[in-house]
Amino acid sequence: MSKIIEVSNLSKNFGSLKALDKVSFAIEQDGIYGLVGRNGAGKTTLLEILTSQTIASEGEVTILGQHPFENSYVMSNIAFIKEAQRYPDNILPKVKDVLGAAALIFENWDQGFADQLLADFRLDLKRKVRKLSKGQTAALGVVIGLASRAPVTIFDEPYSGMDPVARQLFYDRLLADYAENPRTIIFSTHLVDEAADLLEHIIVLESGRVILDAATEDLRGQAAVIEGPMAKVMGAIEKLEVLELQEVGSFGRAFVNQISQSQSSKFVSEGLNVQPISLQQLIISKTKQNSNLEMESAK
Amino acid sequence: MSTQVTEKPLATRLLRVIKMNLSNPWPTLITPWLILAVLLTTAFFFELWLTSIGATGVFFEPEQFLIIYLLVIANQVFLNQFPLALSYGVTRRDFYLGTVLSLTFVAFASTVGITLVSILRGANDLTDLLNAAGANFSALLASELLAVTLTALYFRFRNIGMVTFFVTTGTLMAGSPFVVTYLDLWDELERFAFSSSWEFARTVIGWSVIALMLLIGYGLIRRANPQLR
């Protein structure tokens, strides 16, 4: 596979605040990427730079081998659906007007698919955009993003306000359509476990830096939680990478990374409880570990 | 991979922006003329009454209403469509040029409408009609471009830009009479305003201001952030 997006030493400053700090990564053509991070980690800023909404302070972005800023070739290959996307309800008052505008601009627009998605999400073409609920507005963004079939489709928290049923519908439709029309899809999310089956690759941002950039498959089963008497837990984790350690009285719980099957079996035989942890927990632990390291280096 | 999109010619890209802006003709082309129809009907009966009591005069000029209406609608089009267009992968340059062309079309259509109203009201001198149409077109376009430039200023510099603009404009407007008085230029200005060269100068100044606003608007939007937070 070839790289469709390359980001190198990207920084963005807002006054004294470093929203992005020397971010580098590459995205392969045709894949579903998850951009994960806490609020204020820099996800939206990164996506805005990728889509030329914002200009970077330093560093470089190339998409399809070219700089995207004011590049009509690159931009015509991108669809960007933002969290709480606003629609110009005085100029394009109805759902059908917003979709009509999208159909005019997106080269690969699939009206049949858009109609099917509208029915799935129970969106009425004649309904006024300003009358849509938050979840329905998010669903409209999802319809536009998916039906655009843009070679690079970017969703920033696409399902803000959507109920669990609608979110599952989004995952199902995205996956089914992706299987038939592979493309590069990036979406930022907080709901890692929910979207885990969908994501082929995860990039985690924390305080404007990439702290994890790995294939989802490689991350699965990589980390575990070891529970038991504190003394035994401390002994077990001596030679492991500890992401997070919790102590409740004499009971200990350690989140560890890169644990092998033989190590796991050994700890179980010693009376400890060893369980694989979810992607979400791994990311939480990684983020906490990063925050602790930052605090220590600041001291 | 989904079929990669090849770059379309500039004309195609601009036409798409124009269609996007005018895909719903109600706010730009239909609603103002529905309002105008009511205002003109009222004006017609008022002017009939004026005539019946021996007075004459034109009670209402449609261009006065349209200059304000199109200023507001140009602001609404630019303010609301810019973020959406960029999300849809339109570049700032294409959006700007496409929107200016959309608004030029609206100004032209409105000028045709105003001219037809003038004919219905009895104007029949072709030269007068054409002169009036030229003046109306440039006034409507200038009004729309003022809105575009100010909206571009807002996207580029947000509230600081707006405050700076209005403070500067206010200072210039309040200060210019003092400068004219200080330099003792009132008599010369009066002579110029009533001279034959004024009509020509007004046209040149008008179109120069339009060209300047076009350039400033583009300069501002080139690096503007479309997010409305």
Q: Hey, of B82, B86, B88, B160, which one would you mutate to test binding to chain A, going by the most A CBs within 10 A of its CB?
A: B88
- Written as six digits, the tokens of A125 are 């073409």
Q: Are A139 and A162 in contact (CB under 8 A)?
A: yes
Domain that holds residue B67: 10-24+61-221
- As to burial, measured by CB atoms within 10 angstroms (0-12 exposed, 13-18 middle, 19+ buried), residue B34 is exposed
Q: Tell whether A79 lies on the interface with B, counting CB pairs under 8 A.
A: yes
Q: How far apart are CA A156 and CA A173, in angstroms?
A: 17
Q: Are A52 and A70 in contact (CB under 8 A)?
A: yes
Q: Which of A42, A54, A12 is nearest to A205 (CA)?
A: A42
Lowest-confidence pick of A65-79, B54-68, B88-102, B141-155? B54-68
Confidence category of residue B9, pLDDT binned at 50, 70, 90: very high
What pLDDT shows up at residue A268? 94
Task: Tell me the CA distances in angstroms from A278 to A206, A269, A275, one per residue in order.
Answer: 19, 23, 10
- Written as six digits, the tokens of B171 are 């200072």
pLDDT tens figures, A204-230 = 999 999 999 999 988 887 889 999 999
Strand partners, A156: A188
Considering only the beta carbons, identify the residue of B1, B92, B225 that sits closest to A30. B1
Q: How far apart are CA A37 and CA A209, in angstroms?
A: 10
Considering only the beta carbons, identify the residue of B16, B81, B87 that sits closest to A82. B87
- Written as six digits, the tokens of A143 are 């319809």
Whether the per-residue pLDDT at A116 is higher than 70: the answer is: yes
Distance (Å) from the C-alpha of residue B65 to the closest C-alpha of chain A? 20
pLDDT tens figures, A134-158 = 999 999 999 999 999 999 999 999 9
Considering only the beta carbons, identify the residue of A91, A100, A107 that sits closest to B81. A91
Rg of chain B over Cα atoms, rounded to whole angstroms, equals 21
Whether the per-residue pLDDT at B229 is higher than 70: the answer is: no
DSSP type of residue A128: B
- As to burial, measured by CB atoms within 10 angstroms (0-12 exposed, 13-18 middle, 19+ buried), residue B60 is middle
What is the residue-averaged pLDDT of chain B? 92
Q: Tell whether A149 lies on the interface with B, counting CB pairs under 8 A.
A: yes
Contact B2 A149 (CB under 8 A): yes
Q: Which long-range contacts (CB under 8 A, 24 or more apart) does B76-80 make?
A: B76/A88, B76/A90, B76/A91, B76/B27, B77/A88, B77/A91, B77/B21, B77/B27, B77/B28, B77/B102, B77/B103, B78/B147, B78/B148, B78/B151, B78/B152, B79/B151, B79/B154, B79/B228, B80/A86, B80/A88, B80/A89, B80/A90, B80/A91
Contact A77 B4 (CB under 8 A): yes
Contact B90 A87 (CB under 8 A): no
CATH 3.40.50.460 is held by the domain A3-218: no
Q: How far apart are CA A297 and CA A107, in angstroms?
A: 50
Compare all CA atoms of chain A with the CA of B156 and give the residue at the minimum distance: A54
Whether the per-residue pLDDT at A273 is higher than 70: the answer is: yes
pLDDT tens figures, A51-79 = 999 999 999 999 999 999 999 999 999 99
What pLDDT shows up at residue B59? 67
Percent of chain B with pLDDT over 90: 75
Judged by DSSP in three states, A286 sits in helix
Q: How far apart are CA A270 and CA B192, in angstroms?
A: 102
**Residue B89 phi, psi (nearest 5):** 90, 20
Whether B35 maps to a domain, the answer reads no
Q: How far apart are CA A56 and CA A36, in angstroms?
A: 20
Whether the per-residue pLDDT at A84 is higher than 90: the answer is: no
Confidence category of residue B21, pLDDT binned at 50, 70, 90: very high
What pLDDT shows up at residue A220? 82
Instruction: Provide DSSP, B181-210.
Output: HHTT-HHHHHHHHTSTHHHHHHHHHHHHHH
pLDDT tens figures, A87-101 = 998 899 999 999 999
Q: What's the structural domain count of chain B?
A: 1
Q: How far apart are CA B13 and CA B17, in angstroms?
A: 7
Whether B226 maps to a domain, the answer reads no
Residues in CB range of B208: below 8 A, 6 or more apart: none
What pLDDT shows up at residue B138? 95
Q: Tell whether B15 lies on the interface with A, counting CB pairs under 8 A.
A: no
Domain boundaries, chain A: 3-218, 220-298
E strands, A148-250, in order: 152-156, 184-189, 201-206, 209-215, 224-229, 241-248
* Angle, alpha carbons A145-B82-B136 (nearest 5°): 140
Confidence category of residue B55, pLDDT binned at 50, 70, 90: confident
Q: Which amino acid appears at position A40 of this protein?
A: G
What pLDDT shows up at residue B1? 57
pLDDT tens figures, A171-189 = 999 999 999 999 999 999 9
Whether the per-residue pLDDT at B51 is higher than 60: the answer is: yes
Percent of chain A with pLDDT over 90: 78
- Written as six digits, the tokens of B71 are 């200023």
Q: How far apart are CA A191 and CA A162, in angstroms?
A: 12
Residues in CB range of A110: below 8 A, 6 or more apart: A147, A149
> What is the arithmetic mean of pLDDT over B26-46?
91
* Backbone region of residue B173 per phi and psi (left: phi > 0; alpha: psi in -120 to 50; beta: other values): alpha
Chain B residues in contact with A76 by the CB 8 A cut-off are: 5, 7-8, 13, 89
What pLDDT shows up at residue B134? 94
> What is the arithmetic mean of pLDDT over A241-263?
90
**Residue A77 phi, psi (nearest 5):** -100, 5
Lowest-confidence pick of A103-112, A280-289, B93-102? A280-289
ipTM of the complex in this document: 0.89
Considering only the beta carbons, identify the residue of A54, A93, A108 that sits closest to B225. A54
> In this structure, which topology does domain A220-298 adopt according to CATH?
Alpha-Beta Plaits (3.30.70)
Strand partners, A14: A17
Q: Are A104 and B89 in contact (CB under 8 A)?
A: no
Whether the per-residue pLDDT at B143 is higher than 90: the answer is: yes
What pLDDT shows up at residue A298? 73
Judged by DSSP in three states, A8 sits in strand
Alpha helix ranges (H) inside A106-154: 111-120, 134-148
Confidence category of residue A161, pLDDT binned at 50, 70, 90: confident
Confidence category of residue A1, pLDDT binned at 50, 70, 90: low
Q: How far apart are CA A171 and CA A174, in angstroms?
A: 5
Q: Which of A87, A81, A85 is nearest to A127 (CA)?
A: A87
